């Protein structure tokens, strides 16, 4: 459980991707942030030093993220070249004809000319229902999602074209299990550089992480504290380590992920926590024994399970 020094640097936390770009290790996530609070939260994150902002059209707040970015660029607080912005392709836009327009809508809402990263959000394709995603899961008369007749490699070919045309620097996937990654790698001209997955002490996703590392796919961990109520931070083992290292419980969990070689997405509405999650997670190291202890908490227990929504368990 030693730090992956090939990917990780304490003084300048970033992950070198397979395509040569550098991904800031600590990112600010925008999922489940109310649109009325998003602009202020992203502004606070940028002021705190975050240079990796994770978005998606299904979060319904990309316009508010864009407002924060526009003001930050105008004030000189941060330049576009200093910032890493990720967005995602929703399930209803997998058909090749819809991939580019979906990206262009995100670019318009974010006020950007290009994305640093564009991910396939989930590995399932639904019938197209419009770019506003008001009907995000189209259902048939029996209540089952209406599938689109398109393969992942067909969608991926369009993603590759976005890189060719300079609209996106890096392409990747999200919520992909090992066998779908295996299949995609077999047909991709530009291999996925990132797989964004849920990863925390109760769901370490070790097999996916191991496969990604072996195939030069960086792993970005979302929900590092578990669900909205952050159950990982209430675990006795994490509380004990927080006391031992004189850090917050959040710092311990973030540090564990960093030393595994992962990038981590966190979010908060509180300015002090936004700052602490960034600055106090990179200035210490967990001992090997403590890394192993946290890893031993893994119960393969997902905090977020959309099986009922999708009608299928992606990880089965």
Q: What are the catalytic residues?
A: 59
Q: How many angstroms separate the Cα of 212 from the Cα of each of 17, 40, 196, 260, 310?
A: 12, 34, 11, 12, 24
Give the CA-trace dihedral at 13, 6, 160, 178, to 10 degrees. -110
- The DSSP letter of residue 126 is B
Q: Where are the alpha helices (DSSP H) in 76-205?
A: 96-110, 152-164, 178-187
Buried b (16+ CB within 10 A) or exposed e, 204-219: bbeebbebbbeeebbb
Neighbours of 67 (CB within 10 A): 19
Of 269, 196, 260, the closest CA to residue 230 belongs to 269
* Structure tokens belonging to residue 301: 């227990």
Q: What is the CA radius of gyration of the chain?
A: 19
Give 60's contacts (C-beta < 8 A, 6+ positions apart): 35, 133
Q: What is the chain's length?
A: 316
- The DSSP letter of residue 221 is E
What is the phi/psi pair of residue 6, to 5°? -65, -35
């Amino acid at each position: 459980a030693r730090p992956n020094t090939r990917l990780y640097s304490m003084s300048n936390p970033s992950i070198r991707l397979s395509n040569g770009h550098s991904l800031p290790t600590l990112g600010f996530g925008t999922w489940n942030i109310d649109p009325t609070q998003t602009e202020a939260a992203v502004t606070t994150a940028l002021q705190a030093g975050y240079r990796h902002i994770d978005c998606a059209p299904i979060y319904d707040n990309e316009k508010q993220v864009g407002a924060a970015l526009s003001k930050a660029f105008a004030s000189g607080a941060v330049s576009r070249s200093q910032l890493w912005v990720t967005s995602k392709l929703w399930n209803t836009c997998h058909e090749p004809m819809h991939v580019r327009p979906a990206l262009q809508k995100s670019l318009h809402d974010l006020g950007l000319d290009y994305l640093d990263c564009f991910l396939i959000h989930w590995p399932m394709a639904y019938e197209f229902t419009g770019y506003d995603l008001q009907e995000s899961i189209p259902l048939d008369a029996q209540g089952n999602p209406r599938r689109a007749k398109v393969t992942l490699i067909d969608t991926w070919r369009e993603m590759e074209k976005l890189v060719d045309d300079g609209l996106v620097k890096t392409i990747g996937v999200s919520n992909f299990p090992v066998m779908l990654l295996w299949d995609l790698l077999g047909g991709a001209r530009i291999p996925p550089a990132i797989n964004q997955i849920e990863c925390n002490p109760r769901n370490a996703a070790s097999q996916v992480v191991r496969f990604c590392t072996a195939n030069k796919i960086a792993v970005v961990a979302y929900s590092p504290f578990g669900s909205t109520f952050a159950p990982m931070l209430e675990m006795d083992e994490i509380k004990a380590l927080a006391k031992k290292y004189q850090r917050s419980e959040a710092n311990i969990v973030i540090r564990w992920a960093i030393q595994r070689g992962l990038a981590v997405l966190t979010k908060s509405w509180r300015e002090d926590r936004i700052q602490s999650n960034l600055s106090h997670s990179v200035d210490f190291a967990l001992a090997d024994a403590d890394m192993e202890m946290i890893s031993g908490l893994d119960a393969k227990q997902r905090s977020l399970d959309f099986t009922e929504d999708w009608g299928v368990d992606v990880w089965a």
